[in-house]
């Protein structure tokens, strides 16, 4: 089994009173997850934590198809629970975004709902693998200054749709999973520079958080870096 180096962290940030993000790093199952509870709504921290807890129960050693089925089933179950909880609490929405990576046989399988992201860094280039489920910000508003309006989230619509993609992992490949508290503060070019110069996954995480916190960290900040074995 190939050993992938990973490091992850979540932080309240400098403005928010509650951390509504959650992360999950399961080197044993080769599964990594970030989730961002919807700010401004009730119990966003409950939603993101529930996602992390349920995905933490995925069995080790599952094949790629079985693991994807188990992840889909877990997210669909959380989706229904959150919709029921919102009804019980008489609130419009209790929801969360999620972005995850499952690694099997040298392939990164990335699933997501919402605007949490998975990036791939290799050959000195950074590219965003996931496509935000969100309307673009209004004209004149940059992505760093404010995100768009989400079009999809766990716990939101009646039917949950989870997008998946696959990426081949090379010897120098790094994957970055993050909530929007990271890409609100750092450009793709800055993220690429961090990933390209850091000596380890832990060092990359240290640098990402130092940058976001130094710039005011207006949102909760969560990120995971995964490095393929050389």
Q: Where are the domains of the chain?
A: 5-227
- In tens, the pLDDT along 41-73 reads 678 999 999 999 999 999 999 999 999 999 999
How many CB atoms are closer than 10 A to CB 217?
Answer: 21
Percent of the chain with pLDDT over 70: 93
pLDDT score of 4 more than 50: yes
Mean pLDDT, range 145-171, rounded to an integer: 90
In words, the CATH class of domain 5-227 is: alpha beta
Model pTM? 0.94
The string of pLDDT tens digits covering residues 89-146 is 999 999 999 999 999 999 999 999 999 999 999 999 999 999 999 997 766 555 444 4
């Amino acid at each position: 089994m190939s050993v992938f180096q990973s490091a992850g962290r979540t932080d309240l940030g400098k403005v928010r009173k509650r951390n509504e993000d959650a992360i999950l790093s399961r080197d044993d199952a080769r599964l990594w997850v970030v989730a961002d509870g919807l700010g401004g709504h009730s119990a966003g921290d409950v939603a993101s934590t529930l996602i992390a807890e349920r995905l933490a129960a995925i069995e080790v050693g599952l094949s790629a198809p079985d693991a994807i089925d188990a992840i889909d089933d877990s997210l669909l179950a959380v989706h229904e629970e959150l919709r029921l909880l919102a009804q019980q609490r008489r609130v419009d929405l209790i929801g969360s975004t999620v972005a995850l990576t499952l690694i099997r046989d040298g392939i990164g399988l990335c699933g997501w709902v919402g605007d949490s992201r998975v990036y791939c860094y290799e050959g000195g280039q950074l590219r965003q693998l996931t496509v935000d489920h969100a309307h673009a910000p209004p004209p004149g508003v940059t992505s760093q200054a404010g995100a768009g309006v989400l079009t999809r989230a766990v716990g939101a619509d009646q039917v949950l749709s989870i997008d998946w993609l696959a990426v081949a992992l090379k010897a120098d490949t790094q994957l970055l999973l993050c909530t929007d508290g990271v890409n609100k503060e750092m450009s793709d070019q800055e993220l690429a520079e961090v990933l390209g110069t850091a000596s380890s996954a832990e060092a990359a995480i240290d640098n990402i958080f130092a940058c976001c916190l130094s710039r005011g960290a207006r949102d909760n900040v969560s990120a995971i870096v995964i490095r393929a074995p050389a």
